Amino acid sequence: MSSIIQLLPDHVANQIAAGEVVQRPASVVKELLENAVDARATDIKLIIKDAGKSLVQVIDNGLGMSVTDARLCFERHATSKIRQAEDLFSLHTKGFRGEALASIAAIAHVEMKTKQDQEELGTHIIIEGSKFVSQDVAVLPKGTSFAVKNLFFNIPARRNFLKSDVVEYRHIVDEFQRVALAHANIHFTFYHNGSEMFNLPPSNFRQRIVNIFSGKTNEKLVPVQEETEIVAIKGFVSKPEFAKKSRGEQFFFVNDRFIKSGYLHNAIMNAYEGLLKDGAQPSYFLYLNVPPNTIDINIHPTKTEIKFDDEQALYAILRSAVKHSLGQFNVAPVLDFDRDANLDTPYHYKNLEGATPTIQVDGNYNPFSEDVPNKGPKSDYYGNRKPDANSEGYRYEPVKQTASWESLYVGLKHDTDTITENGGFHFESEEATASLFNENDVEKAVNKTYQIHKKYIVNPIKSGMVIVDQQRAHQRVLYEQFLTNMTLHHASSQQLLFPLHLYFSTSEMELIAELQLALVNTGFVFEETNDDSVVISGLPVNIAESEVPKVLEQLLSDLQDGIPESSFSQNDTIAKSMAKSLSIKTGTYLTEKEQENLVNGLFACKEPNVSPFQKPTFITMRVEDLDKKFTI
Ligand code: ADP
Ligand code: MG
C-alpha cells in the first residue's frame, strides 16, 4: 500500500497554529503588546478600529529588527528569545514560542515597519495570509509598528464567530489592562476608532492602577508586601467594604506576566474569610516574583496558566500576606459583619416621609374569587381586578400601579422583634383564631395573608390556598413596572438634594454610556457623564439613594458578556437586573399590608406565574389536596 502521510505546507501549519494562538482580536493585541514590551519599548501605542476587527496596530519605540530578522520573524518557531530547551526555565521575556507572528500573518493582512536605532533606514514588509506581498527599504523612526488588518479574512467561519463590537472591545481592554498593569514603567496609549481611551504615563504600580480604574480606586487599596525565599509579593488588595459583585478587577502577575489561577484566587478569598458578604468579590492587583526555574510557563499556548513547583507554599504565603495587610490596616474591625442583613432597610424613603402615597388598593378585590368570568387563566388575574374595570377587561394603568407598588416600600418595617418564634408566622391571634374556627368568617380569611419563614406568603382562597414566594413575586412586579416605564417613557424620578457622584472604570463607563438612554427611561437623571464618573441628580422613585451603586454594579456585572443589540432585549436585561437587585429578599419581614400589596401586585402582572427568570412565583393547594393528606 502506498504511504499516505504528508508534511503540511507551512501556511497550512501556520493557520492551524493560529487557531490556538489567535482566537479573537484581543489575542492579537496581547501578542503585539508583549512583543513590544520584550523589545524594551518605553512608549507603546495601541490603535484599533471596529473593536480590532478591521485594525489592530501596535507602535513601539523598542529595539526594532534588522532586515534579516524583519523577514524571519514571520517564520514559525522563529524567536530571538530562547535558544535551547533549558532557556524555558530562565525566561525573562513574555514570548518564547516564536509562533505569534507566523500565526497572525497566516490569517490577516499584516504591514510591518521596523528600524533599529543604529541603522539609517528601516524595513517595510507587507504579508497577507502567509504570502509576502512586498518588502521595501523605508525611512522610519526607531522601533516597530505592526498593523494587523482584516483578521480572519481567509477563515470566514472564524470571522463569523466573532462577537459584537462591544464584547470584542471589552476583551481588548482586558488584555490591554493586563499588560499595562504588569508594566507601570512603560507609557501606554490606546485609541479606539480615533478616540483616546487610555493614556497611561510611566508611574508606580499604585498610580497605574488608579489611572486605569479611576481616581476613586486609590482609597480602596490596601498594600500587600511579603518577601520569602520562594516568592516576593507586592501589590494591593481592596478593602472589604469595596468588594464588588463581579470578578472584574482581580489580577495576578507572576514575573510580570498576567496569569489566571483559581488556586491562588482561593488563597485570597480565604484571607478575606468572614470579611465579605455572600458572593462579594474583592479586587486585587498582586505581583509575585518567583525564581524563573520554579515555574513552567509552557503549559498553555496563550501562556496565561503556569505551573508552580511549590503551589501549596505559595498559597500559604499569599494567604497570610493578604490577611496580615487587611489586619494591619485595621480594615476588619471597622466592619460589623454580624449585623443582621435584615436591618439594612432596603428601601430608604427618609426624604419622602411626608408624602404618603395615594394607594388605590381595592380592599374587596380578591384575585382568587371563584366568580371570575371564565376567560382562560389570564382573566382570572385581570378580568376581575377592579370592580369598575371596563368591558375590555383589565387595562394596564401604570400610574396608579406605581402608586400601589410604592406602598410596598414606604414604611417597610424591619422590626424583627415582632416575629414570633414559629418562624415569623405573623397574625393577630384573636382574629385569626376566630376565622380559623368560625365558618361564617371564611370570607374574612380570604383576604388575609400570612408570612411564613420570612419567605412565603400564604393566602387562603375559597378552593384552598395560594403560597407566594415573596422574592420572586416582587421581582416579577418590579420587572413589569420597569419594563412598562422604559417602553412607555413615562417613568417618574425623585430629585436628589445632593447629586450622587459615582466613579467607574473606563470600560464600565463605556457600558453606562451605551445604556444611558435606557436608564433615563427608568427614571435616572444624569447631570454629567465624564470619562470616569457620572453625576446622578434624579432616581427612579423606587430606588433609594444608598442602593444606586449596588444596582448599577449588578447591572454592569449582568452585562459583562455584552449589551444586547436590540433595544427590547436591552430593556429586558436592565429591567431584570434591577428587579433582581431591588426585590425584597427572602428573610425580609413584611407587614400584613405589604404582604397584601405584594400579592395584589403580583396578580395584576401580565405574567404572574413566573419570575423574570422563569421560576414559579406561587403554587396553589386545593382543599382536596389537603384532605388527601389527612386521610392516610
Ligand atoms: P516570540 O515573541 O515568541 O519570540 P513572535 O512570533 O511573537 O515570537 O516574534 C518573533 C520574533 O520577532 C521575536 O522573537 C522578536 O525577535 C521579533 N519581534 C517581534 N515583535 C517585535 C518588536 N515589536 N520589536 C522587535 N522585535 C520584535
Ligand atoms: Mg511574541
Q: What is the pLDDT of residues 350-389, one digit of tens each?
A: 333 333 444 444 445 454 544 444 333 333 333 333 333 3
- Cross-strand pairs, 493: 540
pLDDT at residue 442 tops 60: no
Q: Which range has the worst mean pLDDT, 394-408, 550-564, 576-590? A: 394-408
Question: For residue 625, what is its C-alpha cell?
Answer: 389536596
**Mean per-residue pLDDT, 128-132:** 93
The CB of 97 under 6 Å from ligand 1? The reply is yes
How confident is residue 233, by pLDDT bands cut at 50, 70 and 90? Answer: very high
Of 329 and 79, the one with more pLDDT: 79
Q: Which CATH class is domain 10-200?
A: alpha beta
Q: Which atom of ligand 1 is nearest to the CA of 93?
A: 2
Is residue 74 within 6 Å of ligand 1 at its C-beta?
no
Distance 55 CA to ligand 1 centre (A): 19
- Tell me the domain boundaries of the chain: 10-200, 205-328, 451-620
pLDDT at residue 184, rounded to an integer? 95
- Whether residue 538 contacts residue 494, with contact meaning beta carbons closer than 8 Å, is answered with yes
Residue 51 pLDDT = 95
Mean per-residue pLDDT of the chain? 79
**How many residues can be counted in the chain?**
632
Per DSSP, the residues of 332-347 read: HHH--TTS-GGGS-SS
* Residue of minimum CA distance from atom 13 in ligand 1: 79
Question: In whole angstroms, what is the distance from residue 355 CA to residue 595 CA?
Answer: 21
Per the confidence metrics, is the pTM higher than 0.75? no
Cα 237 to Cα 249: distance, rounded to the nearest angstrom? 10
Averaged pLDDT, 197-207: 93
Which atom of ligand 1 is found nearest the CA of 63? 25
- For residue 132, pLDDT over 60 is answered with yes
Alpha-carbon distance of 114 to 58, in angstroms, equals 12
- 383-411 mean pLDDT: 34
Q: Which ligand is nearest to the CA of 99?
A: 1
In this prediction, residue 60 carries a pLDDT of 97
Residue 74 pLDDT: 94
Instruction: Indicate if the pLDDT at residue 506 is higher than 70.
Output: yes
Q: In terms of pLDDT, which residue wins out, 104 or 278?
A: 104
Between the ranges 13-17, 189-193, 289-293, where is the mean pLDDT highest?
189-193
Q: Which residue has its alpha carbon closest to ligand 1 atom 19?
A: 35
Cell numbers given for 262 = 483559581
In the 3-class helix/strand/coil scheme, how is 536-595 assigned residue by residue? EEEEECCCCHHHHHHHHHHHHHHCCCCCCCCHHHHHHHHHHHHHHHHCCCCCCCCCHHHH
Alpha-carbon distance of 623 to 95, in angstroms, equals: 72
* Atom number of ligand 1 nearest to Cα 100: 6
User: What pLDDT score does 65 carry?
Assistant: 96
451-620 falls under which CATH superfamily? MutL, C-terminal domain, regulatory subdomain (3.30.1370.100)
Euclidean distance between CA atoms 523 and 513, whole angstroms? 16
Predicted confidence band of residue 35 (pLDDT cuts 50, 70, 90) = very high
- pLDDT, average across residues 446-472: 87
- 503 versus 237: which is more confidently predicted? 237
- pLDDT for residue 607 is more than 50: yes
Nearest residue by C-alpha to atom 2 in ligand 1: 95
More confident residue, 250 or 495: 250
Domain 205-328 matches domain 451-620 at the CATH topology level = no
Name the pLDDT band for 339 (thresholds 50, 70, 90): very low
91 lines ligand 1 (CB under 6 A): no
Q: Whose CA is nearest to atom 21 of ligand 1?
A: 35
Percent of the chain's residues with pLDDT above 70: 79
Spatial distance between the Cα atoms of 593 and 476, rounded to a whole number of angstroms: 19
Residue bearing the CA closest to ligand 1, atom 17:
73
Between residues 59 and 543, the one the model is more confident about: 59
Of the listed ranges 136-150, 157-171, 478-492, the least confidently predicted one is 478-492
Is 98 close to ligand 1, i.e. is its CB under 6 Å away? Answer: yes
Please give the pLDDT value at position 611.
92
Cβ atoms within 10 Å, residue 89: 15
Ligand 1 contact via 302 beta carbon (within 6 Å): no
CA 110–ligand 1 middle distance (angstroms): 14
Query: What pLDDT shows up at residue 366?
Result: 52
Please work out whether the CB of residue 500 comes within 6 Å of at least one atom of ligand 1: no
Pocket test for ligand 1, best of 40, 88, 101 (most atoms within 8 A of CB): 101
Which is more confident, 2 or 617? 617
Helices 592-603 and 398-409: angle between axes, nearest 10 degrees: 150
The ligand placed nearest to the CA atom of residue 110 is 1
What is the predicted pLDDT for the residue at 133? 96
Residue 298 main-chain phi, psi, to 5 deg: -85, 45
Domain topology for 205-328: Ribosomal Protein S5; domain 2 (3.30.230)
The Å distance, Cα 423 to ligand 1 centre, comes to 67
Using a 10 angstrom Cβ sphere, with 0-12 exposed, 13-18 middle and 19 or more buried, the burial of residue 79 is buried
Dihedral angle computed from the Cα positions of residues 251, 256, 259 and 262, in that order, rounded to the nearest 10 degrees: -60
Q: What is the pLDDT of residue 446?
A: 52
Highest mean pLDDT among 396-400, 424-428, 490-494: 490-494
Residues measured by CB to lie within 5 Å of ligand 2, the ion: 35, 95, 100
